[in-house]
Amino acid sequence: MATTTTTTNGAAAAANVSRRDHVVIFPFMAKGHTLPLLHFATALTAHHKTLHVTVLTTPANRAFAAGRLPPSVSLVELPFPSLPPLPAGVESTDALPCPSLYPIFLRATALLREPFAEYLASLPSPPLALVSDFFLGFTRAAAADAGVRRVVFHGMSCFSMAVCKALIVNPEAAAAAAGGGVEPGGGGAPFPVPGMPEHVGITADEVPDALVKFADAEDPVTRFLVDDVGFSDVLSWGVLVNSFAALDEAYVAPLESFYQMPGARAWLVGPLFLAAAGDTSELEEEEQEHDPDGCLAWLDDAQPGSVVYVSFGTQAHISNAQLDEIAHGLVQSGHRFLWAVRSDTWTPPAKVGPNGRVVRGWVPQRRVLAHRAVGGFVSHCGWNSVMECLAAGKPILAWPMIAEQHLNARHAANILGVGVRIDTKPGGMAAAGDVVGRAEVEEKVRALMDAEGQAGKKMRKGAAWAQREAMSAVGEGGASRVALRELVDELQRTYGDVVVDEGKIM
């Protein structure tokens, strides 16, 4: 039997957490997937103090999780499987030494099924619920075997999830668009998405690459999604969404239509980092002190709304040629900029000058976005970053690259009207040879930062609306706070109900 190591952060002792007030949370090992579930764990204990919450992690990810959880949440370590050629100790996607190891990493995470099942079997009684990432498809059957309902988490908006699922079950729509020969950058006429509201149309370039490849039986990621994830997602008891009704209400019904369990709901409880604020005062104080490069002090010396903040996340690789073009475009825009760069090998052009600040270490992004000096955000449009930007009331220059980021860009810029877009192909800066020139970077940054023009005023009005709605959603009586309470109430009301067998997967 595999060994599980339990580490208790504080209040909830392992011997006392296995009852109807126990919620188990199992994030996927990628920072963008893990962070919102850590915030969810914190929100549960902040607003439902009788609940005992356990987060499952692995040895190399424990420190990251522990530093972002209050003492009221417990941690349990599961041993991360060994699967050469994946290097030992690489237990998160951001630690992968090269993108080609991603399919092997996915296969390694599927091997966590046995220690996960052993953990559930070690509990004196079934917990109230399991909340797990959709990539961890094995958790659905293992939880069902233990008599536990599974709530699935994607880390995406209702909009992007519903579009993706619609294209999966209507592959001819995605295939027709992908074969349309449109120009890069959202070129070609938007096509309607089956089952979505009439105002939703996307272009061929916005179809996520994984969906374009879905018919390729030889693609290793596709094989994982089919063989290891399968229908485990849509057979879940419900789906947890890091969003709020004002942004996503129109897409709730289309999303819920794909879930096959009777009464399955999409529970919109975000923005989760705001929902968690009630029990994170000490954590926030520690975060405020953790600004090793002095980003906030640098911003303190800038005029209100004068600085562009630039960050492209932790997943996609950006070539040195593209980084050079971004640097020149930022300088040519004439605006001050703060740029969080992942690469530790790229050397900025000498003429970046005094108006630019390039940071390679950790940046307190939420506090940077909330700073009065920041007037706009150049972002890859990962959903966490979009939510943080909107919650800060700032407009966004959308530069999507991978996964569903092109859909997030359409949602933010084209539907919500809170930003502008860079023209990119699917894969964006991760696509070989696709380099956006400095002139376009300059033009789009100027458009983003033009607070007095008609387009700039419209973006800022929309961003201010989103900020008000985000704060209202997580406040007392807000839609997300109510949804969180209803989720817990429904789980407790139906505790002990028979879990429907998974049946035939494919």
Give me the DSSP letters along 293-351: T-HHHHHHTSPTT-EEEEE--SSS---HHHHHHHHHHHHHHT-EEEEE---SS----GG
- pLDDT at residue 184 in the model: 39
Structure tokens at 499: 């879990």
CA distance 449 to 155: 29
Which residues neighbour 429 within 8 Å (Cβ) at sequence distance 6 or greater? 312, 316, 317, 318, 319, 322, 399, 401, 435, 436
Q: How high is the mean pLDDT of the chain?
A: 87
* pLDDT over threshold 50, residue 17: no
* pLDDT over threshold 50, residue 15: no
**Amino acid identity at 431:** A
**pTM of the predicted model over 0.85:** yes
Of residues 378, 385, 375, the one with CA closest to residue 444: 378
- pLDDT at residue 424 in the model: 74
Q: What's the length of the chain?
A: 506
pLDDT digits (tens, 9 = 90+) for 332-376: 999 999 999 988 889 988 777 778 999 987 899 999 999 999 999
Rg (CA), the chain: 22
Identify the band that residue 18 occupies on the pLDDT scale cut at 50, 70 and 90: very low
- pLDDT at residue 289 in the model: 54
- pLDDT at residue 10 in the model: 42
Which residues neighbour 98 within 8 Å (Cβ) at sequence distance 6 or greater? none
- What are the E-state strand segments in 59-175? 73-77, 129-133, 150-153
CB 339 within 8 A of CB 330: yes
Residue 26, beta-bridge partner list: 132
* pLDDT over threshold 50, residue 97: yes
- Between 55-59, 130-134, 167-171, 243-247, the lowest mean confidence (pLDDT) is in 167-171
CB 224 within 8 A of CB 106: yes
What percent of the chain shows pLDDT beyond 90? 69
CB 302 within 8 A of CB 373: yes
CA distance 395 to 418: 5
Residue 333: phi, psi to the nearest 5? -70, -25
* Secondary structure (3-state) at 466: helix
* pLDDT over threshold 60, residue 91: yes
CA distance 101 to 121: 32
Identify the band that residue 281 occupies on the pLDDT scale cut at 50, 70 and 90: very low
Structure letter (DSSP) for residue 133 = E
- pLDDT at residue 168 in the model: 87
